[in-house]
Amino acid sequence: MKHTPTRRRFLMLLSSTLLGLGTGLAHAGDIPWSSLSADEKRTLSRAQDKWDQLPTERQQRLLDGARRWQNMSPDQREQARERWEHRRADQHERRRERRD
């Protein structure tokens, strides 16, 4: 599977955001990294270093998202990237407006 710069950037943003949402929760997760398939590990590679510290619920949500991503067609993935980038741009714009 070819990793285009847009896809890499999208996956990095998605992983970073999802990881950031789970950092305030308490207990470590119960889904070992070693139990993930090669495709799941590739999709979630940005989470590998923190995987064992993530709460089980966060691990499961990330894993569910990785599985949905893997089942998407290229067109669906592109649409998801576009929606993600549009949401991120909207969030940045709202933050900028609040600061002004």
Q: How far is CA 29 from CA 8, 40, 57, 86, 97, in A?
A: 26, 16, 7, 31, 37
Instruction: Read off the pLDDT of residues 6-41 as tens digits, 9 standing for 90 and up.
Output: 776 776 666 666 665 554 444 567 999 999 999 999
Let me know: does 44 contact 10? Beta carbons within 8 Å. Answer: no
Would the pLDDT of 98 be above 80? yes
What mean pLDDT comes out for the span 62-90? 93
* Confidence band, pLDDT 50/70/90 cuts, at residue 53: very high
For all residues of the chain together, what is the average pLDDT?
84
DSSP code per residue over 16-79: HHHHHHHTT--SPPSS-GGGS-HHHHHHTGGGGGGGGGS-HHHHHHHHHHHHHHHHS-HHHHHH
The candidate with the shortest Cα–Cα distance to 10, out of 68, 93, 79, 96, is 79
What mean pLDDT comes out for the span 77-88? 92
